Amino acid sequence: MSDAPLYLNPDLDLGQRLQDLLSRMTVREKISQLWHEAPGIPRLGIAAYNSWSEGLHGVARNGRATVFPQAIGMAATWNAQLVQNVADAISTEARAKYHAALKRNGKTDIYQGLNLWSPNINIFRDPRWGRGQETWGEDPFLTGTLGSAFVRGLQGDHPTYLKTAACAKHYAVHSGPEKLRHGFDAQVSLKDLHETYLPAFKKLVTEANVEAVMGAYNRVNGDPACAHPYLIGKVLREDWGFQGHVVSDCWAISDFDGPHGCTPNPTESAAKALKAGCDLECGCRYSHLLEAHEQGLITEADLDLALTRVYATRFKLGMFDPPERVPYASISTDVVACQEHAALAHRAAVESVVLLKNKNNILPLRDDLKSLFVLGPTATSVEVLLGNYYGMNTGLTTLLEGLMGRIPEGVRTEYRIATHVLHESQSHTSWIFQSAAQNDVVIACMGITPHMEGEEGESIDSAENGDRTRIELPEVQLDALRKLSEAGAKTVLVLTGGSAVALEEVADLVEAIVFVWYPGQEGGRAVADVLFGDQSPSGKLPVTFPRSTADLPDFEDYRMTGRTYRYSTIEPLFPFGYGLTYGQVQLSDLQAPATLSADHDLHLSLQVHNPGPRDLSEVVQVYVQHPEVATPVPLQQLVAFQKVSVPAGATQQVQFAVPSSALQLINAQGEGVWSEGPVEITVGTCSPGQRGLDLGAAVPLAVQVAAPPVTG
């Protein structure tokens, strides 16, 4: 080892190794390594490496992989440990695939690397946004908590090596419209920025040590996100102490001299991004960095700073160390799409199911069922299992296949498509609804599909390049439900989708509504298990379900006023945090201090009792309100939650330690301050409000706690 270059010595300090490697590179070579598709440098033993890989809900676009529920579905589990386990499985498969590609080709191509550009922790502020399905919902605390768990699963817990490198995206203030994203300027106050759009990013940086942050396409208050002096220089680097690398969204820097019009040419776009702290480009503008260097727009020190950050990640991934030193280098491809991961995908899909309505306890389906009729356009759809950014698998189980694998022998069963997703059928179908109604139960598989929501240009049935213009169920599907109701059918509606659907009329036409998101490869089996009672539903909504599109503010307005459960004064159809199960817990004996401490956590405890005959999992949720504060503040805000298993007839004590910072208000300067009035703490199984109680949520407990004494 003594004759080897210092950068190849794994026993040396990382900084020393990086300095040695950079000293051996020419300016041209340094620049070549700042693109996502970095060529090899044979004389230094550096293999070509492509940093663009995706792991949103499984290794994506790289052949066979376990397909977990879409991120918004995993958010509905409200189960941080489960989310971490899923991410750990994803990184295990990514590792196996990376080493296999390297062994086969001596390099990696796109989607074969260890830089996984996930999770997407943008706030799902408007249900029309097509990429909201990739997020963890509309709440900053839920997003930050689950997003952090995902990062920990992807990156592992080794003190030296990363299993994979996670990436928090898209930084920041990014949630549509898709068709405008390359030139859009999101106008946002410091209060909204630090109260809503940044907390999840902060949590991933300061608590989960996420390795990378991806800049968004849009501008924020005039400056492009990928070269934003305040967001990158002040907040990310200075205030939060971020030590990892910043990567651009793909071809976002090309927008500088394109739709944004903030630079006159590609060379100045590249220089602007690099100088502002964008270390790695996905795209092509950094091919102009040599010109920028020759023109004096950037220095070699600028290149070295960016390359140090980019290559620090590659060193942490073990790319310059002997395989026997890297604990993840021996992972075999036998783990890819293995049975253990399939079982985990099934568990995640089961826990993601949200029961929205269950009239007369029609669910779970009875053992004495005589006949069943399954219909609807999503019953046989593979697309609704996948969502976007997905892998593929030989074990994809559709809703119909899952039901057919579970329906007891002797139950007469029929299936018809009956209606298309968006368009009227040309065939005569009226008889189908009459025939269906003659059965004990109709299971109608409907909803929205990835063809109706997604990234820019992906959703072929959308007029908005990925976004939806209306959040109501398509009229053709609604008409089918009307006909079923008129015929007297007892209908259980199984809805797919990646975002909220307005269901006000729908709710009056059916006995039960089960929302299953895009549930992944095990979706069919998981849904069947819930419908037949082998598993009790335990999912909770990570987004509000409004009554109609008319209840939403202007899509292009990034002010939070009137948006999400935290700021909207319009009663929703189904509130944030809501979801029924096959039973109901009772909450009691809430214990809280009389006065908050500015320096210590708020400790809470309560009893959760399950009086019913079935074992249950329930999500106990803690919200804060500031009833005496007149200035604009969140009407209510989630600050803690736990998913608790409560056996039949048992009582569990649940304890919370809420950080004092979570109980502060954000002022107009974006700073945390204490309220002068009391803080109201509400603990329940849904966000506070009469609507949740009307729908069957457990009666919540509430207590007022005095704010910390004013000092100095």
Catalytic residues: 249, 453
Copy the structure tokens of residue 234.
Answer: 């002040």
Cα 536 to Cα 131: distance, rounded to the nearest angstrom = 29
How many CA atoms lie within 13 Å of 460's alpha carbon, on the beta-carbon side? 1
Q: What angle do CA 86, 237, 227 make, to 5 degrees?
A: 95
Q: Please name every residue paired with 665 in a beta bridge, in sequence order, or none if there are none.
A: 673
- Number of Cβ atoms within 10 Å of the Cβ of 547: 18
Copy the structure tokens of residue 613.
Answer: 């005959």
Cα 680 to Cα 98: distance, rounded to the nearest angstrom = 50
Q: How far is CA 464 from CA 173, 249, 260, 455, 458, in A?
A: 20, 20, 20, 10, 10
Q: What angle do CA 226, 498, 458 make, to 5 degrees?
A: 60
Cα 195 to Cα 211: distance, rounded to the nearest angstrom = 23
Count H helices and E strands in the chain, helices first.
19, 23
Q: What angle do CA 168, 171, 173 make, to 5 degrees?
A: 130
- Number of Cβ atoms within 10 Å of the Cβ of 231: 28
Yes or no: say if 131 and 454 are a contact pair by the CB < 8 Å rule: yes
Yes or no: say if 580 and 355 are a contact pair by the CB < 8 Å rule: yes
Provide CB contacts within 8 A for 507, sequence distance 6+.
356, 357, 513, 573
Cα 414 to Cα 373: distance, rounded to the nearest angstrom = 5
Cα 210 to Cα 297: distance, rounded to the nearest angstrom = 30
Q: How far is CA 361 from CA 297, 497, 690, in A?
A: 69, 24, 22
Yes or no: say if 608 and 620 are a contact pair by the CB < 8 Å rule: yes
Q: What angle do CA 150, 152, 154 make, to 5 degrees?
A: 70
Yes or no: say if 590 and 606 are a contact pair by the CB < 8 Å rule: yes
Query: Among residues 455, 439, 461, which one has the least CA distance to residue 377?
Result: 461
